[in-house]
Structure 1
Amino acid sequence: METSVRKNKITPQMYASKSKRFANFVIDYIGQLIIGAGFGVLMVILANITGDYEYVAWIDNMGNLGEYAMGIVILIIYYLVFESLTGRTLGKYITNTKILTEEGQKPEVDKILYRTLSRMIPFEAFSFFGEAGRGWHDSISKTVVVDLSKYNLENETANSINEIGQEV
């Protein structure tokens, strides 16, 4: 008889620690800055190739509001692409964490979109410092960030217990 791998409902013991969450934030912010800088470098290279410096002048003159808008676009693209495809961003790969639904499944794109848009709430970045260790972008989208080591250990333990007594 074949056994199926059982996925556990997520428990608070599986949550990523606040220090890992903070590391994810910092690493992902740096990743977004690098993407923004890369975009600027690409525009300069294209301007030099084409001889059309209008776009470079536009970037130089966009002002604070334009820079803020560009940051929002980069944030949305960064999180939507990474989290929709893999459930992990650069920071989550480095800290060995992952996004899952509260039921332990891969989140659908709509949950990732809610999660991403929720990041733009003022002071949202500080919301995960609360008791539960979940940010507003987690609770609004009904997702969690799990420590993969803890999550995998819990699943392996549950599967091992489930296999006891089954036919071989």
Structure 2
Amino acid sequence: MNESNSDTSSKIVLAKWTDRFFAWLIDFIIISSISTAIIFASLGSINYEFEEDSFWMENIQYIPTSVLFFVYWTILEYKTGQTIGKKIMNLKIVNIDGRKPNLKGIMISSFGKAFLLPIDVILGWFLTNEKRQRIFNKLGDTLIVKIKEINDISDVKYLKD
């Protein structure tokens, strides 16, 4: 017999833009550091003085770093719903119903963050809805929510199968 807590609610608490920004900043610092170390190890140095018409040289760090971000967000958010930054900020990515999102939705959301974040955020702010979604969150049917903290250990109930 399975008992349920009558106080349990089906409310979804949307994450604040500031919490989302700090989660992103934590992830950005981690992945940028890793990317810089990889490029440094691969090329022997990081030289930011490029020739004026060398498009590929100017983007030598942007492209692999964006790919690394995309892979990082896709894998962690699909497997656990959280990146390191989201875990620290107590956030999670979910689908519109508050359940685990599908891989396609995660990939769409991750693509926007990894490759088009400024456009994605700015358009998201101007075209935002009550769900605080970036454009690519809308396209992927995903939300960023605040995970409810257990404030009082006496509220925890243990049930057996």
TM-score of the two chains, using structure 1 as the length reference? 0.68
Task: Give distance in 1, aligned partners of 2:75 and 2:5.
Answer: 28
Identity %: 21
Task: Give distance in 1, aligned partners of 2:70 and 2:83.
Answer: 12
Question: Aligned-pair distance for 1:128?
Answer: 4.7
Task: Give distance in 1, aligned partners of 2:15 and 2:31.
Answer: 22
User: Is 1:75 the equivalent of 2:69?
Assistant: yes
Unaligned runs of 5+ in 1: 45-54, 161-168
User: Is 1:124 the equivalent of 2:120?
Assistant: yes
Task: Give distance in 2, aligned partners of 1:126 and 1:28.
Answer: 20
Unaligned runs of 5+ in 2: 51-55
8 Å CA contact retained: 2:95, 2:142: yes
Question: Aligned-pair distance for 1:126?
Answer: 3.3
Match of 2:43 in 1: 56
Change (3 A) 1:145 1:8: farther
Q: What is the Cα-based RMSD across aligned positions, in Å?
A: 3.2
SS in 2 for 1:98: strand
Query: Aligned match of 1:111 in 85, 102, 105?
Result: 105
SS in 2 for 1:87: coil
Task: Give distance in 2, aligned partners of 1:106 and 1:75.
Answer: 20
Counterpart residue type for residue 39 of structure 1:
I
8 Å CA contact retained: 2:108, 2:137: no
Higher relative contact order (CA 8 A, sep 6+): 1
Question: Aligned-pair distance for 1:9?
Answer: 5.6
TM-score of the two chains, using structure 2 as the length reference? 0.70
Match of 2:3 in 1: 3
SS in 2 for 1:29: helix
Question: Aligned-pair distance for 1:146?
Answer: 0.6
